[in-house]
Structure 1
Amino acid sequence: MDSILLLFLCLISGVILRRFKTFPPNAHLVLNQFVIYFSLPAVALYYIPKIRISSELLYPLGVGWLSFALSFAFFFLIGKWLGFSKKLTGCLVLMCGLGNTSFVGFPIIEALYGKEGLKTAIIVDQPGSFMVMATLGILVASVYSSGNVSWNAVGSRILKFPPFLAFVVGLTLNILSVDFPEIFQSAFQKLGNTVSPLALVAVGLQLNIQRRSSHWGVLSLGLVFKLMLMPLFFYLLYYKICGGTGQTIGVSVIESAMAPMITAGVLCHQYGLKPKLASMMLGIGIPLSLLTVAFWYFLIG
């Protein structure tokens, strides 16, 4: 539970630093860049070589990919119907299609299911949510950030995205059944642990919840979709339609109910996709998800 406390402390610290103008105005940009270029690649290089692939992992693996596909289909159609701007649609697709399956998900899963549950949670996160973010996520961010789409430029951005490059290296090592020496693994683990604190401080530095903000309507729509409709979809699919049982299915459904991914907010800021809305969805979605996750956990039993 200390990891969950850390999430709140970092978020509140960012808000306090913004309030008293302790950091420079663009400090959040520096923190976000550090997360993208150093912290996230370290996470991939530490975890990916250790994953053991088997057929029973299809359920947790499907959470990340199906979530993003469902989010894209839903907000593409809703956006067309309600006349959303391209940047608003892109922001909602990213924030609702990518779940915080590691930095919020891992401590919650460990608290609910113990260390054994983390084995499933890692599959949901690394080849699932993380890979989706590093490929389809940056693809959507690139396409929706501008009116003119150059597929060569989009492909170049994906190939030059540091977390994606790290994932490729980690996957190659996994296939070869080798890993980094222990001294490097320790360094990657410690560097990867900086993702959540730095990203949440950056969110707090930008968080400005306004009662009369024009974002409240779409923010409510996004969070209802992410925290309630998304896990409902996986609950019905995995338990009722596929007839799944056991801890692997339970962890998969609970992970689908997590708050929006912090890195999705980083992408929204980097590509100019309604960054204020993205920050509000993180600042409100993370604490709210603790209540909705409890609901789904008791429903699953």
Structure 2
Amino acid sequence: MDSLILIFICLFAGLGFQKVKAIPANAHVALNQFAIYLLLPALSLYYIPKIQISEKILYPVGVGWGSFLLSWLIFAGLGKILKWPKKLQGCLIITSGFLNSSFIGFPVIEALYGKEGLKTAILVDQPGTFVMLSTLGIIVAILYSKGQPSGPDIARRVVLFPPFIAFVIGLVINICHLDFADPVQSMLQKLGSCVTPVALVAVGLQLKIERKSRHWGFLGLGLFVKLLLIPAFFLVLYKVVFRLRGEDIDISVMEAATPPMITAAIIASAHGLKPRLAGMMIGVGIPLSFLTMAFWYFVLKHW
């Protein structure tokens, strides 16, 4: 419960800081970069070496990968048909496609399924969502941002992206069955735990919900895809098509129902992909998701 309270405290703190003259109007940019260059790599270096790689991870990981690919297919297709600007397409692909599988997912899953449920939630988050964000997510952000980057330029920017570097290092350590010394792990864990407050304050600083905003229609569409269509897709795929049963499958579907990923909104904002819409996807999506996740939990319990 304390994790959920922290989310709203930090989000509203960011909103309040908009009124403080001593805080620069572009303070969120510095916070975004701080998260990208230090906090996210620390999170990756702490968790990736601890993942147990086996065939059991396929269905949870499939939720993390499939959500993004489904979002990309939907919004790239709609964007081409309706001739949307590339930045709008990129924003919706990224903010609708990545799950808030840790900051919202972990406390919700622990509350509903106990600490054992976190084992499945971590599989959705780290080898699933986080791997996709560190690779294809960055590629999409680059492709849909300003300009027409070349193949070598895209490769260079992905390879030099700090969370991706940390992911590769963590993966090598995992394959070698090693891990960092305890003091280093403690430091990485403490740094990684700062991602949520820093990211949410940054979201709050740039969140401007305007009644006459042209983003409301796109916001509704993005949240419909993220909160309803994507979890429905995995519910039908896993429960109806594959006829899978078990708590791990239910947890995977619940993770698919989590709101847009805070880190994904940071990436979209950092690449100039409609920062206000990205902020609204987080600011509106998080509180709304508590209602939709309750709905999906009810559906799963009575399936």
- Aligned counterparts of 1:296 and 1:200: Cα–Cα separation in 2: 25
TM-score, normalised via structure 1 length: 0.98
CA deviations 1:185-240 (Å, max 9, x no partner) are 11100000000100000000001100000000011000001000000000000111
Deviation at 1:21, TM superposition (A): 3.2
User: Who is 2:65 aligned against?
Assistant: 65
- Aligned counterparts of 1:45 and 1:93: Cα–Cα separation in 2: 26
Query: Structure 2 counterpart of 1:69, which letter?
Result: L
- Aligned counterparts of 1:183 and 1:68: Cα–Cα separation in 2: 35
Q: Which runs of 5+ in 1 are unaligned?
A: none
User: Who is 2:165 aligned against?
Assistant: 165
- Aligned counterparts of 2:127 and 2:97: Cα–Cα separation in 1: 15
- Aligned counterparts of 2:63 and 2:211: Cα–Cα separation in 1: 34
- Aligned counterparts of 1:135 and 1:55: Cα–Cα separation in 2: 22
Query: Structure 2 counterpart of 1:221, which letter?
Result: L
Deviation at 1:147, TM superposition (A): 3.8
| Stretches (4+) displaced over 6 A | none
- Aligned counterparts of 1:7 and 1:116: Cα–Cα separation in 2: 23
Deviation at 1:146, TM superposition (A): 2.5
Number of equivalent positions? 301
- Aligned counterparts of 1:5 and 1:242: Cα–Cα separation in 2: 37
The SS at the match of 2:116 is helix
Deviation at 1:106, TM superposition (A): 0.9
- Aligned counterparts of 2:276 and 2:19: Cα–Cα separation in 1: 16
- Aligned counterparts of 2:273 and 2:165: Cα–Cα separation in 1: 24
- Aligned counterparts of 1:200 and 1:223: Cα–Cα separation in 2: 18
- Aligned counterparts of 2:160 and 2:168: Cα–Cα separation in 1: 12
- Aligned counterparts of 1:111 and 1:36: Cα–Cα separation in 2: 29
- Aligned counterparts of 2:133 and 2:149: Cα–Cα separation in 1: 19
Q: CA RMSD in A?
A: 0.9
- Aligned counterparts of 1:251 and 1:22: Cα–Cα separation in 2: 44
User: Who is 1:275 aligned against?
Assistant: 275
- Aligned counterparts of 2:162 and 2:215: Cα–Cα separation in 1: 31
User: Who is 1:88 aligned against?
Assistant: 88
- Aligned counterparts of 1:94 and 1:56: Cα–Cα separation in 2: 27
The SS at the match of 2:18 is helix
CA deviations 1:232-265 (Å, max 9, x no partner) are 0000001111111111101100000111111111
User: Who is 1:118 aligned against?
Assistant: 118
Query: Structure 1 counterpart of 2:225, which letter?
Result: F
1:156 and 2:156 aligned: yes
Query: Structure 2 counterpart of 1:201, which letter?
Result: V
1:144 and 2:154 aligned: no
- Aligned counterparts of 2:2 and 2:15: Cα–Cα separation in 1: 20
Query: Structure 1 counterpart of 2:230, which letter?
Result: M
- Aligned counterparts of 2:148 and 2:45: Cα–Cα separation in 1: 34
- Aligned counterparts of 1:207 and 1:73: Cα–Cα separation in 2: 27
Deviation at 1:22, TM superposition (A): 4.1
1:3 and 2:22 aligned: no
- Aligned counterparts of 2:76 and 2:98: Cα–Cα separation in 1: 15
State percent identity of aligned pairs: 56
* Higher deviation after alignment, 188-197 or 139-148: 139-148
- Aligned counterparts of 2:21 and 2:102: Cα–Cα separation in 1: 30
Deviation at 1:80, TM superposition (A): 1.6
- Aligned counterparts of 1:93 and 1:11: Cα–Cα separation in 2: 23
Q: Which runs of 5+ in 2 are unaligned?
A: none
1:77 and 2:77 aligned: yes
TM-score, normalised via structure 2 length: 0.98
- Aligned counterparts of 1:92 and 1:121: Cα–Cα separation in 2: 24
1:14 and 2:14 aligned: yes
